[in-house]
Amino acid sequence: MTAPMERIQVLDSIEKDIITCLQSAGQALIELSKEKSSLKQAESQTHQFLKTLGHVESKLTEQINYLTQVSTGQPHEGSGYASQKVLQMAWHRLEHVRSRVNELERIKNKHLQGRALLRPQPQLTQSQQNGTQPVGSATGAGTTG
């Protein structure tokens, strides 16, 4: 746990302790209000109420003392903007590259589709079938070039 979050976590636990304190006080009084009240139970609830309240007071006093020592009264002028901007520019570079690669992919697919359409031609001459590439594909390559 990082130091900045630790203090906030401690304050969260103090809040829970305050609620526990109120609950113990309520339970102690409920116990006293019963017809057959258990003295032991009432005493333990009261003891818990007093203990939790003391705990809350000591922890809060500690926090206030720490704040008295570290606060200066001046506003904090630090900022993480520079590194944030650097990361944002890196992200922009990445997006630019991604868009260019997607464009290449699109051109490649278009070219392949064009070749697939031109390939099954029933009137190819014997010389074209022998080894040289068909004329249709040259025009297909020309349009994509």
Partner 1 sequence: MALSRGLPQSKEALLKSYTTRLKDDVKSMLENFEEIVKLAKGENDTQLSKMTQSEQDTYEMHVRAANIVRAGESLMKLVSDIKQYLILNDFPSVNEAITQNSKLFRTKQAECDQKLKSLRDDMAADLYDLEEEYYTSIYK
Candidate ranges 45-53, 105-113, 120-128; the one touching partner 1 (CB under 8 A): 45-53
How far is 142 from 20, CA to CA, in rounded Å?
A: 80
Q: For residues 2 and 122, which CB has a smaller minimum distance to partner 1 in the complex?
A: 2
Which DSSP category does 91 fall into? H
Which own/partner contact pairs does 51-57 have at CB distance under 8 Å and 24+ positions apart?
A: 52/17, 52/20, 52/21, 52/24, 53/21, 55/17, 56/14, 56/17, 56/18, 56/21
Asked if 49 and 25 count as a contact pair (C-beta separation under 8 A), the reply is yes
Is residue 30 within a helix (H) or strand (E), and if so which, with residue range?
A: helix 3-33
Residue 79 binds partner 1, judged by CB under 8 A: yes
Q: Which of 30, 47, 91, 106 binds partner 1 (CB under 8 A)?
A: 91
Helix, strand, or coil (residue 79): coil
Q: How far is the CB of 45 from partner 1 (least distance, A)?
A: 11
Q: For residues 87 and 116, which CB has a smaller minimum distance to partner 1 in the complex?
A: 87
Which of positions 98-137 make contact with partner 1 (CB under 8 A)?
none
Q: Which of 3, 35, 126, 129 binds partner 1 (CB under 8 A)?
A: 3
The residues, any chain, with a CB within 8 Å of residue 24's CB and separated by 6 or more, are 45, 46, 48, 49, 52
Q: How far is the CB of 75 from partner 1 (least distance, A)?
A: 8
Binding site for partner 1 (CB under 8 A): 2-4, 7-8, 11, 14-15, 18-19, 21-22, 25, 29, 32-33, 46, 49-50, 53, 56-57, 60-61, 63-64, 66-73, 75-76, 78-80, 82-84, 86-87, 89-91, 93-94, 97, 138, 141-142, 145
